[in-house]
Amino acid sequence: MNLMLTILINSILASILVIIAFWLPQLNIYTEKASPYECGFDPMGSARLPFSMKFFLIAITFLLFDLEIALLLPLPWASHLHNLSLMLLLALMLVTLLAMGLMYEWLQKGLEWTE
């Protein structure tokens, strides 16, 4: 009974919030709000603006190395495992692989902004 009541209340609350989210923006529409804003770029210009490939490569590198955090987060809870040495060895291998990747990026000058 408590589960059904909780689901019912959550569904009603979510429905009310969705209705309010669709209803409120329609109350005050003016031209500034209806026009697209793109951080100082002319929105009526060409959509084929040049994009910095260097920035793109830095962003991809950041995402790859950011995954390291997600893979290493469960490491403190590994102390409860029976095979702790295997877990630490795998973590060391992961950190070594990422360090080698960072060295490769550095040697290939993939982390430099200017050329």
Please give the share of the chain, as a percent, with pLDDT higher than 90.
17
Q: Helix (H) and strand (E) counts for the chain?
A: 4, 0
Chain centroid offset of residue 105 CA:
22
Q: Which residue segments constitute the domains of the chain, with CATH numbers given? A: 1-108 (1.20.58.1610)
Contacts of 41 (CB under 8 A, 6+ apart): 49
Q: Give CA angle at 96 (91, 102), nearest 5°.
A: 130
Residue type, 26: Q
CB 43 within 8 A of CB 35: yes
Distance (Å) of CA 5 to CA 8, 18, 73: 5, 20, 36
- pTM for the full predicted model: 0.49
More confident position, 18 or 109: 18
DSSP structure class, residue 81:
S
* pLDDT tens for each residue of 4-42: 999 999 999 999 999 998 887 776 666 666 666 656 655
Retrieve residue 54's tokens. Answer: 């260097």
